[in-house]
Amino acid sequence: MTLPAPIDFTEGRSPWEKQKGETDRAFRYFQVYRNLGHKRSYVQIAEAFSISTTRVNQLGRRYRWRERAEAWDMEEDRHDLEAIRRRRRESDFNLRRIGAYSQSVAIARLRGNADQGIRAIDPNEMGVQDVVALLNVGIKADRLGLGAATENISDVTRIPASLWQGMLTEVMGAAMERMEQGLQPGFVADCRAIVERHVGR
């Protein structure tokens, strides 16, 4: 028996949509086959609708199920990739907003704001661990701003105790000077230069 030739895809319709000349029943079979995903098989359709695998093979060949299902998979993958990219953009945007807000809070605490009742941090009241934390964060923030790596820089907590006194004196001086200037961004660079100068001795 000569089998009907495979159909031509209908112009203006996607391959996974109902094609011209395709019966409602045949399209319903294809929809289930299409939606089974990458592990789909004709046997699954035969079992689901209690029809012979021979009949399913005939329908699959006639209506080009495999080609249409592959086109459907590609379209689904494209949508998934777009969704991932969209979520990534949203995540990046939210992280930037959080980062900007966090920086504004930190700057307000460092500078102080009389209108909001925020008292400025006095560098003279900072303990050693506070200065260490500020140095670590400041140096990393400076490097990130320059697009430089941060994971390989040394932790300043490992600096020998013998170097701390002179280094902290300079850091405090730089902090006070920058406080008087409104905590301009150069404070971070000052700290980094002081640490590198002392460690490099």
Please, which residues have CB within 8 angstroms of residue 36's CB and are 6 or more apart in sequence?
44
Q: What is the pLDDT of residue 158?
A: 56
Mean pLDDT of successive 10-residue segments in the chain (201 residues)?
A: 79 93 94 94 96 95 95 93 90 75 68 75 66 64 59 52 59 62 57 61 48
**pLDDT digit string, tens, across residues 121-134:** 776 666 666 666 66
Strand, coil or helix: 118? strand
Phi, psi of 51 (to 5 degrees): -125, 165
Angle at 62 between CA 60 and CA 68, to 5 degrees: 55
Asked whether the beta carbons of 140 and 185 are under 8 A apart, the reply is: no
